[in-house]
C-alpha cells in the first residue's frame, strides 16, 4: 500500500504542472554524457576493468551465479543539475552457454523489441541496419506510474569491437516526444522538450563480455528528468530509485530470456540458418551527440 501511494504521489508531482527543458539543463546533460563516454574509454585500458562488476569480486560472483545486479554508478544514483535530475544506473546479467553472436542477434533485432520487452515497449521498428550502426524507433509506455501518456522515440546505436570476445554499444535517441492521452480519442503528440518531464533524455552504454562459458551483459543507463521539489524529494527519490531498479532488472531478465530462447532455437537449426556472426572491424569512438535521449 505504501509503494502504491508513493507511486500515485510521484505521478502527481510529474503531471500536476507541465515542464519545459531548459538550455542550462541540456548543457549539464551534455557535460555528463561526455564524462560517461570518457569513463568508457578508460575501461579499454589494459590495466582497467572492462566491466564494472569486475571491480568487486563479490559483484562478479553474484552475477555469475544468476543474480541480476543493479548498482548506482558512483556514490549516488540521482544527481542534481540545473532544473533537472540525472539518473545513472549500472545493471549486469550473465547468460550461460551463450555466445556474443547469440546476444547481438537479440539486441539488434529491433522489430522484436515489442515482443521481448512488453508491456513497456508498445511498438518497435528497425529503420536502418548497417554493419556497426543501427537506427530504430520505439513507442514506450510506463504503466508503473499510472500514466496515460507514452513516448514516441527514435534511436541510434553504434557497436564497437574491442576484441574477439568483447564488444560495447552506445545508444542514444535522436528524437523523443510525449504522447498525451495515449490510446484515447484525444491522443496527441507534444513538442520535443515539453510535457511531464518524467523522461527527457537517455544515453546508454552496454558492454558484452564472452567468458566463463557464457556472456556477461552490463548496461549503464543514464536518464535526464525534471527536478523534484525540495519539499518532496525526501519521499519521491526513494520511489524513483525503486522504480529504476525494478525497470532495469526486468529489462535485463527479458534480454536474458530472449537470448536463451534464441540459442535454443538456433541449436535446432543448421549453421547456415543461424544469425550471421558479427564481423571484427573496429569503429572509432561514438560521437557525443546533443540529440534528445529517452529511457524506457
Would you say the C-alpha torsion 21, 22, 28, 30 has a positive or negative sign? positive
| pLDDT above 60: residue 293 | no
More confident residue, 266 or 179: 179
pLDDT at 163: 95
Q: What is the pTM of this model?
A: 0.81
Residue 289 lies in a domain: no
Alpha-carbon gap, residue 201 to 136, rounded angstroms: 16
The per-residue pLDDT for range 240-288, each reduced to its tens digit, is 778 788 889 999 999 999 999 876 555 544 443 333 333 333 333 333 3
Residue 283 lies in a domain: no
Residue 282 lies in a domain: no
Residue 279 lies in a domain: no
Residue 280 lies in a domain: no
Q: Write out the H or E segment, with its range, that includes residue 156.
A: strand 150-163
Helix ranges (H only) for 227-289 are 230-267
Query: Which region among 14-23, 87-96, 159-168, 219-228 has the lowest average model confidence (pLDDT)?
Result: 14-23
Number of domains, the chain: 1
Residue 205 lies in a domain: yes
Q: What is the residue range of 151's domain?
A: 2-273
Alpha-carbon gap, residue 190 to 181, rounded angstroms: 11
Residue 232 lies in a domain: yes
Residue 290 lies in a domain: no
> In the block, which residue shows the cell 589494459?
46
Q: Write out the H or E segment, with its range, that includes residue 201.
A: strand 201-210
The CATH number of the domain holding residue 260 is 3.30.530.20
Amino acid at each position: 500500500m505504501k509503494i502504491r501511494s508513493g507511486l500515485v504521489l510521484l505521478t502527481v508531482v510529474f503531471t500536476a504542472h507541465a515542464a519545459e527543458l531548459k538550455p542550462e539543463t541540456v548543457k549539464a546533460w551534455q557535460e555528463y554524457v561526455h564524462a560517461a563516454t570518457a569513463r568508457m574509454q578508460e575501461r579499454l585500458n589494459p590495466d582497467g576493468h572492462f566491466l564494472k562488476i569486475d571491480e568487486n569480486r563479490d559483484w562478479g560472483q553474484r552475477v555469475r551465479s544468476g543474480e541480476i545486479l543493479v548498482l548506482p554508478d558512483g556514490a549516488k544514483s540521482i544527481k542534481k543539475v540545473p532544473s533537472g535530475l540525472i539518473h545513472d544506473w549500472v545493471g549486469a546479467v550473465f547468460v550461460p552457454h551463450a555466445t556474443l553472436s547469440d546476444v547481438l542477434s537479440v539486441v539488434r533485432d529491433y522489430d522484436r523489441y515489442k515482443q521481448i520487452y512488453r508491456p513497456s515497449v508498445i511498438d518497435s521498428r528497425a529503420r536502418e541496419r548497417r554493419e556497426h550502426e543501427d537506427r530504430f524507433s520505439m513507442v514506450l509506455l510506463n504503466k508503473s506510474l499510472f500514466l496515460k501518456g507514452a513516448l514516441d522515440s527514435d534511436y541510434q546505436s553504434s557497436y564497437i569491437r574491442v576484441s574477439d570476445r568483447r564488444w560495447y554499444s552506445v545508444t542514444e535517441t535522436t528524437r523523443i516526444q510525449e504522447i498525451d492521452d495515449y490510446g484515447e480519442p484525444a491522443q496527441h503528440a507534444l513538442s520535443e522538450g515539453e510535457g511531464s518531464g518524467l523522461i527527457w533524455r537517455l544515453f546508454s552504454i552496454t558492454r558484452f563480455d564472452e567468458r566463463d562459458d557464457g556472456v556477461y551483459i552490463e548496461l549503464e543507463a543514464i536518464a535526464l528528468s525534471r527536478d523534484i521539489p525540495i519539499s518532496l524529494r525526501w519521499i519521491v527519490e526513494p520511489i524513483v530509485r525503486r522504480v529504476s531498479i525494478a525497470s532495469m532488472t526486468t529489462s535485463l531478465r527479458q534480454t536474458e530470456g530472449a537470448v536463451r530462447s534464441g540459442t535454443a532455437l538456433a541449436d535446432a537449426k543448421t549453421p547456415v540458418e543461424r544469425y550471421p556472426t558479427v564481423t571484427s572491424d573496429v569503429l572509432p569512438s561514438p560521437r557525443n551527440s546533443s540529440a534528445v535521449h529517452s529511457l524506457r
